[in-house]
Structure 1
Amino acid sequence: MNNIFTNWFSGFLRGRRATLLFGRRALLETVAGQGRGEAIPDHLSRDLLKAASDDMAAALLRFDSHDDGLSAPEAADRLQRFGPNEVEHEKPLPWWLHLWHCYKNPFNLLLTVLAVVSYLTEDIKATIVIGTMVALSTIIRFVQEGRSNRAAERLKAMVSNTATVIRRDIGTEAAEVAEKYFDAHLHTRRPPKRFETPIRELVPGDHVVLSAGDMIPADCRVITARDLFVAQAAMTGESLPVEKFADRRGSAEGPLEQSNLLFMGTNVVSGSATALVVATGNQTYFGTLAVRVTSSDRAPTAFQAGVNSVSWLLIRFALVMVPIVLLVNGFTKGNWTEAFLFALAVAVGLTPEMLPMIVTSTLAKGAVLLSRKKVIVKRLDAIQNFGAMDVLCTDKTGTLTQDKIALERHTDVFGAPSDEVLKFAFLNSHYQTGLKNLLDRAVLEHVELQTELKLEQDYRKIDEIPFDFERRRMSVVVSERDDHHELICKGAVEEMLAVCTRVRMESDSGSQEVPMDAAMLARVKEVTHALNEDGLRVVAVAMKELPASQNTYSVADEAGLTLIGYVAFLDPPKESAAPALKALAEHGVAVKVLTGDNELVTARVCAQVGLAADTVLLGPQVERMNDAALAHAVEVHQVFAKLTPLHKERIVRSLRANGHIVGFMGDGINDAPALRAADIGVSVDSAVDIAKEAADIILLEKSLMVLEEGVIEGRKTFSNMLKYIRMTASSNFGNVFSVLIASAFLPFLPMLPLQLLVQNLLYDISQIAIPFDNVDEELVKKPLKWNPADIGRFMVFFGPLSSVFDITTFALMWWVFKANTEAAQSLFQSGWFVVGLLTQTLIVHMIRTPKLPFIESRAAAPLMIMTLLIMAAGIFLPMGPLAEYFKLQALPLSYFPYLIAILAGYTVLTTVMKRIYIRKFGWQ
């Protein structure tokens, strides 16, 4: 049974489609680990190589596309033919298959065997009861998971990635009229339009526009490219980005090595391109691998590993106790058939039948509640990591600051205001086609410059050298009045100074250029340092004039530049940042700032929001540290500046290696490696595609306060799951301990298999309301982590307490009510049935909180109502007309004062022992 259970439970946790809210992060990791070097179908390889080798006219013809893309009707028709651009794992299970999955677990299979055996022995009543248990267990789980699926789909609709596509028209009658006008009067086609389209609606033949930060949405053939670098690590394992071109280069044979093919699941690191979609969905290289690897297991997350470890604890306990129960009853009673059925019933009592339903319901409820707080959960099991997180690494911009950068100053090299610097910065931002960041947008807000510069008349773009996170600068080359070319470069100060050899100085007699000697360099650094100390982010602007003969430019041309000045930006801190940081600290979450920005600006912002930044660890220092030194450094430093993407990833991994549960919050291309490396990746709806794909949690509002609320909700969700596991483990242990004692001394079974099953069913039903229970504020003050050893200790400590009162009940029924013969066994069994059920139900309230139950901490109304109903049902069964169906009998009225005394004694003893347990071990 242990292998069956483990395989089923691992499949439930890893493969349940109800928990696969979004698509590709988990699958990308699986493909990255298992898909590299895997053979793909021959026809797919041939199609991709054909797409790479065709000239562009032939490629357009083969995919029935046009120079200016598809029309809207053509795209709609193809969407019907080819289906949505989704890989196999994203499709939900059909209802009948979902129902089968809800049934086929070891718990239900065991109950079914019992029902069949009962039917064969002509015990129709037992067959009906056990069949009801199976039906209830299956239907409750089916309904709850169905709700989870529907909630997942609603959440999925709130966060979706889009692609920029080129359309010939927008599919309206007005557009068709305009098309005819262009053809008839201007003898040309109307210019194509760019639209944001959900990625799932892309079709073969579409033209997509790509820039830095975009996920490649399908398999594509490059049409045009400007310094296009793509990260293909998920497919090939290559750590460095690969440059892609519009034409086929080299003599590579495999599809992945083709220089003009792009693959779904990879992402643009820098540059820009337009590309022709050649395959979508399962027909892509990624989709083919995805279909093959979705059936294989991924490495379990912390949540999965935790639940699996607890499950193994219960399995090992059952493997020891059930054979002992069988042997004791077989030898003492002499009826091995009855002993076997009783042992099977005990096995059912030891297995947490409702665990799948409780896990799914609790996680789904948590996800829905989080969505109301503007936190979207992409993977349900990420909620546990959310609650367990004790270190949050975050970027500075947009989380600590307002994400509304304003251009505060534009100065020459000595700090004097300069309109010329603003002009060059505007030209750079206007003509670049890569990822326009907040700094670019702040520059472009000076729209009046567009008229003053007479862009269309005086300037023509020649080329650009896109931004990357190693150079930390980007350049555009423009032609001014077709007379000469100007290379305009802007970027981080230190990286810009490395390529500048001259400085432009302004004076009354005009401007002049002087060499960048040591004295000038020192003066420049003094000016930029002063701007940084004012809390301004400084971007240096440089340029050089070139002859008009050159048409293509590269990084090598970024040399011998003339520094002309700086543009400085103000990014003020958010008002909510300081209270949010304080709230996170109070809840045991340490915040560390990881930024690529200047250390002076970072330190100033951190000081304004109350984050200690006395010492800032810089990227170059991280670079020089070995793993041991970094492991120490990440513990003592809170602020890290001038980091590259790989530095961020390394810091996150170092924190994890130190035993922390690490969250990382980011929204840029440079954050993607760290998002994947963290235990829980957090991004925002406005993030670049690759960041959203890498994240487990999406915030609809970029705020640490929202994140803090999400952490608390995650802890509540985890706490309620932990309640069920603790209750079930301790209650089951106590019951089996009592069964062993009774079996050894009684001449009859202490409870019939049918009665034991009914008791277990009623107890399980009472647990359905646990996902909706209240959680004490004290329980969510600190991070919650899986601790199987603690659960085992809890089980052994509290389980035998119920046995004390079970034995008291045995003595009461044997000596006081004279139920000490086989003829009177039903009275004995009825008495223990009621005590057992009521103490099991009462323990829910006793150990759901470390406080005094009902007084200091009250359960939520649904749990209170469910508890009262089940307790009433437990008393009604032996006292009502259904008693003989379950071979129970009415209890004398004199039994009930004893029952009250037993329950009161149980409550008092459990409360006392709970105090001892808390003093010795703590509650969590």
Structure 2
Amino acid sequence: MFKTMTQRLFDLFSRNLPRRLIRRSPMLEENIQPAIGQAVPLSVAQHSQACARASAEQLYAKFGSHFEGLTEGEAAAIREVVGANQTDDQQPAPWWQHLWICYRNPFNLLLTILALVSYATEDIKATLVISSMVVISTLMRFIQEARSNKAADALKAMVSNTATVLRCDEQSGRSEQLELPINQLVPGDLVKLSAGDMIPADLRILSAKDLFISQAALTGESLPVEKQANSRMPEDCDPLEQDTLCFMGTNVVSGTAMAMVIATGGQTWFGQLAERVIQQDEQPNAFQSGISKVSWLLIRFMMVMTPIVLLINGYTKGDWWEAALFSLSVAVGLTPEMLPMIVTSTLAKGAVKLSRQKVIVKHLDAIQNFGAMDILCTDKTGTLTQDKIILERHTDVLGSPSDSVLHLAWLNSYHQTGLKNLLDVAVLESAEAIQAGKNFNRYLKIDEIPFDFDRRRMSVVVSEAEDHHRLICKGALEEILSICTLVQLNDETVPLTEQLLTRIRLITDDLNQQGLRVVAVAHKVMPSNTRDYAVADESSLILAGYIAFLDPPKESTAPALKALQNKGVTVKILTGDNPLVARKVCKDVGLAVDHILIGSEVERLGDAELAAVALKTSVFAKLAPLHKERIVRVLREQGHVVGFMGDGINDAPALRAADIGISVDSAVDIAKEAADIILLEKSLMVLEQGVTEGRRTFANMLKYIKMTASSNFGNVFSVLVASAFLPFLPMLPLHLLVQNLIYDVSQVAIPFDNVDEEQLAKPQRWNAGDIGRFMVFFGPISSVFDILTFSLMWWVFKANTPDMQTLFQSGWFIEGLLSQTLIVHMIRTRKVPFIQSRASWSLCFMTLAVVVTGIALIFSPAAGFLQLQALPLSYFPWLVVILGGYMVMTQGVKGFFVRRYGWQ
């Protein structure tokens, strides 16, 4: 939901928004419900300012809420009035608006103009045929998109974000925490926040601990800002600067909080900005730009060739009116009106098929980028490894087993309320198994200092006696060592000397080389004269020892890496873990590691130097979030299509920077929102299947585009030749329209076609130059055999006078229709069609249907209405020879083309 919108918000408003107030259309002016007691304020800014300064009691009274939270009945009543917590860009369009969107592509608009011209000239038959083409194209796209949207909504519901909400049980009156979809939130709801959460609505903080929020989506500020329950800001400051408010679309970087929802959906700051943004012209992505370039290439070609056809026919025939009608029909024939439907159908089919392979596509356009991806950057944990972390060892500083270290680690993991990761889960499970029966409940939690990715550690403060508190800190080894001055050796506490430091690093390096992830544990006793602790208190600690975790590699990782490599995708590991652990895991899964680049080295390199090194480096370790984002960005700047796979808060910047962000359904909210594709199984093998399907989808779209471009070019060339030499039109306008209509209907099977394995072996990207080259090479081939058909009808069947023009036109009608249909089979593969590569049964069926329909048409009673006539049976052996020659020549040119330019 937020990735596209926040990026557009940032692009459009970051230059002048940071201190800008939005005073938009009025909010709801009636009471939400009688219990609220007053109307919602008239503007977002006024409403936010009022809530920012209000006390908790005033907020409960204002929104009719309670300390225990709203009941479900109260929430439902409020939702009836204010609506679902959705911004305008998320609301499904009404059917009539969707139908209009399906109609208003440039091809349909062009055909509509041609239909109106035909009607004005009283050419009713042409009007009916052209109108039928518009209706069929629009309805097919409408039906396909409705089906795909319904499927996409069902798929996205599987990975929808939730919020932790306090709701009051109507029977017992007790408060309970529920995980609810964010669209169910209403003003007055109480929401619990922790690291990694998306802010689901505009919120007023009621209580907070070291809460830092990233507001870049709204303000462009790159650094997180601290939020708290009691404001320290002046009353007249910008609402976006209020330190008691959090806004929809932002995310929690660190800390915890309890907050009240003060606005939802379109009444939020984000919703008001979204309303403005969706009225702006949306910037197309790479896929949309590619489709647009191809579309306008064909339209420009049509606009150039149509006047030429008009001039030649008008000059040679002397009937400018008939020539104008014919040129209009040529324009219709050159219009690829089925392109939007083919694109939608192909993408929708790809999305549904990917869902069966446990890949959920949030944005259909991302499928093409999936297939085009040539570099995949991914974290190590859970991707290369099993993501089932086991606490393998708990040792003192010298490496001997120590239950006291496990005890300290358990206290830290149990009492922290921030983002509990798999390391904490492993600690809690191991402590329960090893120290069952021991009383840990005698410890009372006093405070905590949450984890963040700069410190890479977190602390809790507990008390087991009234006269002192104990601060327990666990985190990355180097970060813990930096705040330790003492070491616990057996029952003694000794200074941390250089000699001890060297010994500690030897012991931990040995653990790392065994593939164990080492987390250091430290503590200190403090007087009990305060209950509010901060990062500054993490100093002069005593190093107690280490807890070491094992995350064994997946059995599927090695074959998956090999499969991706065979598909032309280079895998790069970007991890915050120790380089020794990263090297060991990569070695176990068969990933070659010549050199590991660490975060401090990334800092020292300029962008140009980093780009050169990044292309040659396969493993990056000890990276901060912005290091990952920078590596992805410099790789993209080198012309690569880069995917990034991540599931943590620290992965969000890189997910947004990548061409295609990939996350998993178990990821934190901010990672799922930043991603384009969600995996229901965190596996490179699933990813490899998704890449293959992305390429198959793109290949089928390309078939239609290549076929349309080359066929249109050949048809116009044939028309120009025939118009210059024939005393009559080579085909009536009505014939061209009917031929195009029959042919268009047959193209609905293209999205379901098979694709050769060779086309799936490497990344595929839009290449307008290749499409133009293909058109020039293969278009004239059909013209050669069209001209042979003209010669056949002129000299063999004597259709060389105006009286015999119906016979001539019927002969070219059949040959043109069948050759256009066969071109799909010729260009769908670089191999020999029907023998080395077979089309899907649906495409074969549609091809046969076109052949039967076309031939049956000239022998049916409708032939007279269409001004066609039955062809002599002696025509058909000639037709077989012409079509056979056409296929042989196309195959020969195709072989030359493949050797010279390759085959996308």
Q: Give the TM-score normalised by structure 2.
A: 0.96
Superposition RMSD on alpha carbons, in Å? 1.3
Shift in Å, 1:878: 1.9
How many aligned residue pairs are there? 880
Distance 2:51 2:487 in 1: 49
Answer yes or no: is 1:33 the counterpart of 2:11. Answer: yes
Distance 2:104 2:282 in 1: 22
The residue that corresponds to 2:109 in the other structure is 109
Q: Which of 575, 586, 600 is the equivalent residue of 2:580?
A: 600
Distance 1:726 1:585 in 2: 28
Shift in Å, 1:136: 1.7
Per-residue CA deviations over 1:722-777 (Å, capped at 9, x if unaligned) read 00000000000000011111111112111111111111111111111000000011
Q: Which of 835, 839, 861 is the equivalent residue of 2:815?
A: 835
Which residue type is aligned with residue 71 of structure 1?
T
Q: Is the 8 A contact 1:65 1:205 kept in 2?
A: yes
Shift in Å, 1:53: 0.8
Mean Cα displacement is larger for which, 703-712 or 81-90? 81-90
* Unpaired stretches in structure 1, ≥5 consecutive residues: 1-22, 180-189
The residue that corresponds to 2:35 in the other structure is none
Distance 1:438 1:761 in 2: 59
SS of 1:466's equivalent? Answer: strand
The residue that corresponds to 1:13 in the other structure is none
SS of 2:135's equivalent? Answer: helix
Shift in Å, 1:451: 6.7
Distance 2:250 2:376 in 1: 27
Answer yes or no: is 1:340 the counterpart of 2:324. Answer: yes
SS of 2:164's equivalent? Answer: strand
Answer yes or no: is 1:96 the counterpart of 2:80. Answer: no
- The alpha-carbon distance between structure 1 residues 106 and 529, as it changes in their structure 2 partners (threshold 3 A), is closer
Shift in Å, 1:41: 2.2
Shift in Å, 1:291: 1.0
Q: Which of 160, 175, 179 is the equivalent residue of 1:196?
A: 179
Distance 1:99 1:168 in 2: 43
Which residue type is aligned with residue 695 of structure 1?
A
Per-residue CA deviations over 1:871-914 (Å, capped at 9, x if unaligned) read 11111222221111111111111111111110011011011111
Shift in Å, 1:72: 1.8
Shift in Å, 1:329: 1.3
Which residue type is aligned with residue 30 of structure 1?
R
The residue that corresponds to 1:4 in the other structure is none
1:570-719 correspondence runs (5 A): 570-719=550-699
Q: Is the 8 A contact 1:85 1:281 kept in 2?
A: yes
Per-residue CA deviations over 1:240-276 (Å, capped at 9, x if unaligned) read 1000001111226111000000000000000000100
Distance 1:260 1:24 in 2: 23
Q: Is the 8 A contact 2:129 2:741 kept in 1?
A: no
Answer yes or no: is 1:321 the counterpart of 2:305. Answer: yes
1:45-194 correspondence runs (5 A): 45-169=45-169, 171=170, 176=171, 178-179=172-173, 190=174, 192-194=175-177
Shift in Å, 1:79: 1.8
Which residue type is aligned with residue 29 of structure 1?
Q
Shift in Å, 1:120: 4.0
The residue that corresponds to 1:5 in the other structure is none
- The alpha-carbon distance between structure 1 residues 111 and 658, as it changes in their structure 2 partners (threshold 3 A), is closer
SS of 2:179's equivalent? Answer: strand
Distance 1:467 1:120 in 2: 73
Mean Cα displacement is larger for which, 795-804 or 83-92? 83-92
Shift in Å, 1:97: 2.1
Answer yes or no: is 1:308 the counterpart of 2:288. Answer: no
The residue that corresponds to 1:207 in the other structure is 190
Answer yes or no: is 1:256 the counterpart of 2:247. Answer: no
Distance 1:684 1:804 in 2: 54
Mean Cα displacement is larger for which, 67-76 or 392-401? 67-76
- The alpha-carbon distance between structure 1 residues 785 and 747, as it changes in their structure 2 partners (threshold 3 A), is same
Distance 1:165 1:473 in 2: 28
The percentage of counterpart residues that share the same residue type is 65
Distance 1:77 1:848 in 2: 57
Distance 2:2 2:493 in 1: 53
Distance 1:203 1:569 in 2: 42
Distance 1:554 1:404 in 2: 32
Shift in Å, 1:386: 0.2
Q: Is the 8 A contact 1:155 1:376 kept in 2?
A: yes
Distance 2:652 2:422 in 1: 18
Answer yes or no: is 1:894 the counterpart of 2:891. Answer: no
Shift in Å, 1:35: 3.4
Distance 2:207 2:432 in 1: 29
Shift in Å, 1:332: 1.5
Distance 1:137 1:211 in 2: 49
1:520-531 correspondence runs (5 A): 520-531=500-511
Distance 1:298 1:528 in 2: 52
Answer yes or no: is 1:767 the counterpart of 2:750. Answer: no
Q: Which of 231, 237, 245 is the equivalent residue of 2:214?
A: 231
Answer yes or no: is 1:447 the counterpart of 2:427. Answer: no
Shift in Å, 1:222: 0.3
The residue that corresponds to 1:918 in the other structure is 898
Q: Is the 8 A contact 1:125 1:885 kept in 2?
A: no
Per-residue CA deviations over 1:820-844 (Å, capped at 9, x if unaligned) read 1222111111111111111000101
- The alpha-carbon distance between structure 1 residues 162 and 450, as it changes in their structure 2 partners (threshold 3 A), is farther
Distance 1:122 1:227 in 2: 76
Which residue type is aligned with residue 22 of structure 2?
I
Shift in Å, 1:316: 2.5
Mean Cα displacement is larger for which, 711-720 or 123-132? 123-132
Q: Is the 8 A contact 1:107 1:348 kept in 2?
A: no
SS of 1:892's equivalent? Answer: coil
Which residue type is aligned with residue 689 of structure 2?
E
Distance 2:528 2:113 in 1: 86
Answer yes or no: is 1:270 the counterpart of 2:254. Answer: yes
SS of 2:763's equivalent? Answer: coil
Per-residue CA deviations over 1:529-554 (Å, capped at 9, x if unaligned) read 11111111000000111100022111
Shift in Å, 1:61: 1.0
Shift in Å, 1:52: 0.1
Shift in Å, 1:577: 0.6
Distance 1:123 1:692 in 2: 55
SS of 2:755's equivalent? Answer: coil
Per-residue CA deviations over 1:76-109 (Å, capped at 9, x if unaligned) read 2222222111111112221222222223333333
Distance 2:259 2:352 in 1: 38
SS of 1:403's equivalent? Answer: coil
1:747-762 correspondence runs (5 A): 747-762=727-742
Shift in Å, 1:132: 2.3
SS of 2:70's equivalent? Answer: coil
Q: Is the 8 A contact 1:114 1:341 kept in 2?
A: no
Q: Is the 8 A contact 1:716 1:780 kept in 2?
A: yes
Detail structure 1 runs of 4+ shifted over 4 Å in the superposition.
448-453
Per-residue CA deviations over 1:791-831 (Å, capped at 9, x if unaligned) read 00000000000000011111111122121122211111111
Distance 1:467 1:757 in 2: 68
SS of 1:222's equivalent? Answer: strand
- The alpha-carbon distance between structure 1 residues 518 and 411, as it changes in their structure 2 partners (threshold 3 A), is same
Answer yes or no: is 1:733 the counterpart of 2:713. Answer: yes
Which residue type is aligned with residue 13 of structure 2?
G
- The alpha-carbon distance between structure 1 residues 803 and 262, as it changes in their structure 2 partners (threshold 3 A), is same
The residue that corresponds to 1:536 in the other structure is 516
Per-residue CA deviations over 1:668-721 (Å, capped at 9, x if unaligned) read 000000000000000000000000000000000111110100110111000000
Per-residue CA deviations over 1:193-244 (Å, capped at 9, x if unaligned) read 1110111101100000000000000000001100000000011111110000
The residue that corresponds to 1:3 in the other structure is none
Distance 1:448 1:799 in 2: 74
- The alpha-carbon distance between structure 1 residues 449 and 273, as it changes in their structure 2 partners (threshold 3 A), is farther
SS of 1:705's equivalent? Answer: helix
Which residue type is aligned with residue 79 of structure 1?
R
Distance 1:504 1:70 in 2: 50
Shift in Å, 1:110: 3.3
Shift in Å, 1:129: 2.5
Distance 2:842 2:535 in 1: 66
Shift in Å, 1:111: 3.1
